[in-house]
Amino acid sequence: MSVLTRSAACWIAIALSCASSVGQAQASDSAAAAHAAKPCDEPAAGDRAPIELNSASAAQLERLPGIGPTRARAILELRARMKRFTRLEDLLRVRGIGRATFRKLRPLIKLDAAP
């Protein structure tokens, strides 16, 4: 399965999960209906461990919001040129990652200890 296909499959699974939640809520009591009224998004930043930028694979990077196959490849290429990231803000050097995207990524990434 290609990377693009995995990404599409992930979004389809999320959409089906959300639709299922809404359908169940309509058939059950008001507590479930209140749960369905909440927006159905990917897990919050606190729900997953931060990704280590200096050791992350392309697949791990693609799980980050706003990072697809092209940006993941660009991050890996920059990391190879720099030998390693020394600050998280180095990601701003990747084309397509601006301040807004970086703010979303910040709680989801970290630097591993220097060798």
Domain count across the chain: 2
In a domain, 63, yes or no: yes
Domain identity same for 51 and 77: yes
* pLDDT for the residue numbered 21: 45
103 and 51 in a common domain: yes
- 26-54 pLDDT per residue, tens: 444 444 333 343 333 444 445 578 999 99
Structure token digits, residue 105: 């990524």
Residues 63 and 20 in one domain: no
Beta strands in 1-115 (DSSP E): 51-52, 109-110
- Residue 57 within a domain: yes
Judge if 61 and 100 occupy the same domain: yes
Integer CA distances (angstroms), 84 to 34, 56, 104, 109, in order: 46, 11, 21, 14
pLDDT digits (tens, 9 = 90+) for 76-90: 999 999 999 999 999
Q: Is the pLDDT of residue 55 over 90?
A: yes
Sequence-separated (6 or more) residues with CB below 8 Å from residue 101: 65, 66
Domain limits for position 18: 3-37
| Single-letter residue type at 84 | R
Comparing 64 with 16, the larger pLDDT belongs to 64
The answer to whether 89 touches 102, Cβ cutoff 8 Å, is yes
**pLDDT value for 115:** 62
Which tops the pLDDT comparison, 29 or 10? Answer: 10
Domain assignment of residue 115, yes or no:
no
76, 100: one domain:
yes
Residues 62 and 88 both lie in one domain: yes
66 within a domain of the structure (yes/no):
yes
Q: How far is CA 27 from the centre of its chain?
A: 32
